[in-house]
Copies of this chain bind each other. A is one copy, B any other.
Amino acid sequence: MPSKNEEDKRNQILEALNACLQNKPFDQTSIKEIAKAAGVNHGLLHYYFKNKEDILIHYIDYVINHYKRMFTDWLNRPEMEGHEQKKRISAFFLFMNERITLNKALSKVFIEIWEIAAYNPSVKAKLRQAYREWVDTLAAMLQRLIIDPDVSRRISTAIVAFLEGMALFSIILEPDEAEFQKILAGFQEKIVDML
């Protein structure tokens, strides 16, 4: 059972990796660099984690959980209740845009995670699970407006795919932020109209 302090130190290391991943991909980031970013001796990383891959695995869990928490915290806000369903979906899009799709640091990290997942089956399984949960949540929201559950699931998948594509573009296209928001808004408006 990890003590509170141990947990803190581990998170400190994972945060350091997060910072490093803004500059270099994981494979080009050495244990010593992560340690330096964390302000600890490199030997400690082997004390808290089995090996470099183990740091990565814990990091990916950390990121996925972090963003899952962000998501559920938002969903459980008291303000969420009592609203009309279409309003809720619009609010959801607004939240997604601001906190996730347009969060460049997060998007950059996710591009890295996609690549890792593409070659690492166990990471892929974790990421798949996270995306499934996200799609399911969205499908549940759409369910009240669309009768066919298969259809609402397909639309949800398409919406999430679109958001991930936009996250990618926010990094690769170096777009004008205002223009980018218009694309998101315009698209999402069309989705809401369509429902």
**Which residues on A are within 8 Å of B, measured CB to CB?**
23-25, 27-28, 108, 111-112, 114-119, 124, 127-128, 131-132, 151, 154-155, 157-158, 160-166, 168-169, 171-174, 179, 182-183, 186-187, 190, 194
* CB-based contact B111/A172 at 8 Å: no
Give CA–CA (A174, B158) in the complex, Å.
15
Pick the residue among B115, B157, B163 that contacts A112 (CB under 8 A). Answer: B115
Residue of B nearest to A169 (CB): B161
Give CA–CA (A132, B155) in the complex, Å.
26
Pick the residue among B23, B108, B131, B183 that contacts A158 (CB under 8 A). Answer: B183
What are 26 A-B residue pairs whose CB atoms fall within 8 Å in the complex?
A25-B115, A25-B118, A111-B114, A111-B115, A112-B115, A112-B118, A114-B114, A115-B115, A117-B171, A124-B172, A124-B174, A128-B173, A131-B169, A131-B172, A151-B186, A154-B186, A154-B187, A158-B183, A161-B166, A161-B168, A161-B169, A162-B162, A162-B165, A165-B168, A168-B168, A190-B194
For A118, list chain B residues within 8 Å (CB).
25, 108, 111-112, 171-172
List 14 additional contacts besides A114-B172, A128-B174, A164-B168; criterion CB under 8 Å.
Answer: A27-B28, A112-B118, A114-B115, A154-B183, A154-B187, A155-B186, A155-B187, A158-B162, A158-B166, A160-B165, A161-B165, A161-B166, A161-B168, A164-B165
Residue of B nearest to A171 (CB): B118
* CB-based contact A131/B173 at 8 Å: yes
Give CA–CA (A182, B155) in the complex, Å.
10
Give CA–CA (A151, B179) in the complex, Å.
11
* CB-based contact A154/B127 at 8 Å: no
Give CA–CA (A127, B168) in the complex, Å.
12
* CB-based contact B173/A132 at 8 Å: yes
